[in-house]
Amino acid sequence: MVSAKIKITNNIYYEILSNFTKIWYSRHNLVLITTKNLITNKTYFNWSTGKDSALALYYLLQDSNYQVTHLLTAVNKHYDRVSMHGLRRELMLQQINALGISFSTIELPEQPGMIEYETLMKEAVLPLIEQGFTHAAFGDIFLEDLKSYREQQLAAVNLKAVFPIWKRDTKQLLREFISLGFKAILICVNASKLDQSFIGRVIDDKFIDDLPEDVDPCGENGEYHTFCFDGPIFRNPIAYKAGAIVYREYDAPSGIDGNSKLGFWFCDLF
């Protein structure tokens, strides 16, 4: 039997046998998937560095309908940190290196407007389309307006959106995240939803139990953001040190809780 093993990352392989059986390896499991007569969709993943991205990518890598070979991450070039999460670029690079998947970034200014953001996004995506990518994947769970926005933006350039964990129960998802061996630390907390004690915590069962009832377990409403530093999709854990915890306020979009400012706690990692 003729076989060809293609190394996608240091811990994930695709082995195509003469009968088109695909074998997926990772540090934690072995999955056999029959893919006879299957046409896979070339897909890039919008990588945020957090837990939802990690879990969505985990499931998508096991879906024989998609071939994930690229990551795309938005970075605020003024601060040299991942947008929204505030993670240092160097830790993002270590994380992606542990995934072993090619990547590119969207380099955003300090405070991009919507038109500027969409222009920069399109500039980052067009080279991927030229390389044959047809699908873009996201870790979104239940925000309908965000899903519709992504689909509309992608449709304009003939791309299709994929949401591997869409409409999943968020408490169940977080339990799965833990049971699969993923690990993540809270690096950004919305101060109007969670107090300072939550910043810098590693997600575990007690964390879930301690969350207030009005906070989504996965923080899907923006209650918190994380850095995923270990799990079955990584060839090794990403080492980090927790630094200063700081509080910052930003101008709030009009109509949010009647407040003119939004406050966030950040845990700096290095």
pLDDT tens per residue across span 226-254: 999 999 999 999 999 999 999 999 887 65
Please provide the distance, in angstroms rounded to a whole number, between the alpha carbons at the two ends of the chain.
Answer: 48
Q: How far is the C-alpha of 33 from the C-alpha of 255, rounded, in Å?
A: 49
Strand 261-269 and strand 183-190: the pairing is antiparallel
Q: How far is the C-alpha of 237 from the C-alpha of 225, rounded, in Å?
A: 19
**Are 103 and 22 members of one domain?**
no
Among residues 163, 220, 182, the alpha carbon closest in space to that of 43 is found at 163
Burial (0-12, 13-18, 19+ Cβ within 10 Å), 29:
exposed
**Are 149 and 250 members of one domain?**
yes
**Are 155 and 28 members of one domain?**
no
pLDDT confidence tier of residue 68, bands split at 50, 70 and 90: very high
In the chain, the number of structural domains is: 2
pLDDT confidence tier of residue 256, bands split at 50, 70 and 90: low
**Are 135 and 260 members of one domain?**
yes
Higher-confidence position of 24 and 232:
232
Residue 261: the pLDDT is 85
pLDDT confidence tier of residue 9, bands split at 50, 70 and 90: very low
**Are 85 and 4 members of one domain?**
no
Strand 135-137 and strand 160-162: the pairing is parallel
Residue 254: the pLDDT is 57
Please state, for a pLDDT cut of 90, what percent of the chain lies above it: 80
Residue 2: the pLDDT is 32
pLDDT at 8 over 60: no
**Are 19 and 127 members of one domain?**
no
**Are 192 and 255 members of one domain?**
yes
CATH number of the domain that 249 lies in? 3.40.50.620
In the chain, beta strands by DSSP E: 3-7, 13-17, 21-25, 30-34, 41-46, 66-76, 81-82, 102-108, 135-137, 160-162, 183-190, 224-230, 242-251, 261-269
Phi, psi of 145 (to 5 degrees): -65, -35
**Are 72 and 201 members of one domain?**
yes
For range 59-69, the mean pLDDT = 97
pLDDT at 47 over 70: yes
Residue 84: the pLDDT is 85
DSSP alpha helices (H): ranges in 105-229? 114-130, 144-155, 170-179, 205-210
Burial (0-12, 13-18, 19+ Cβ within 10 Å), 227:
buried
**Are 27 and 115 members of one domain?**
no
Residue 99: the pLDDT is 98
- Domain range for 106 is 39-269
Query: Which tokens hold the place of 37?
Result: 């007569």
**Are 105 and 192 members of one domain?**
yes
Phi, psi of 245 (to 5 degrees): -105, 125
pLDDT in tens, 131-141: 999 999 999 99
pTM (2 d.p.) = 0.86
pLDDT in tens, 146-198: 999 999 999 999 999 999 999 999 999 999 999 999 999 999 999 999 999 99
Single-letter amino acid, residue 232 = P
Q: How far is the C-alpha of 198 from the C-alpha of 218, rounded, in Å?
A: 13
Query: Which tokens hold the place of 149?
Result: 């926005």
pLDDT confidence tier of residue 22, bands split at 50, 70 and 90: very low
**Are 159 and 241 members of one domain?**
yes
Please state, for a pLDDT cut of 70, what percent of the chain lies above it: 83
Residue 30: the pLDDT is 44
Residue 251: the pLDDT is 82
pLDDT at 27 over 70: no
**Are 3 and 57 members of one domain?**
no
Q: How far is the C-alpha of 12 from the C-alpha of 30, rounded, in Å?
A: 10
Q: How far is the C-alpha of 10 from the C-alpha of 153, rounded, in Å?
A: 33
Among residues 6, 154, 22, 128, the alpha carbon closest in space to that of 70 is found at 128
For range 84-88, the mean pLDDT = 93
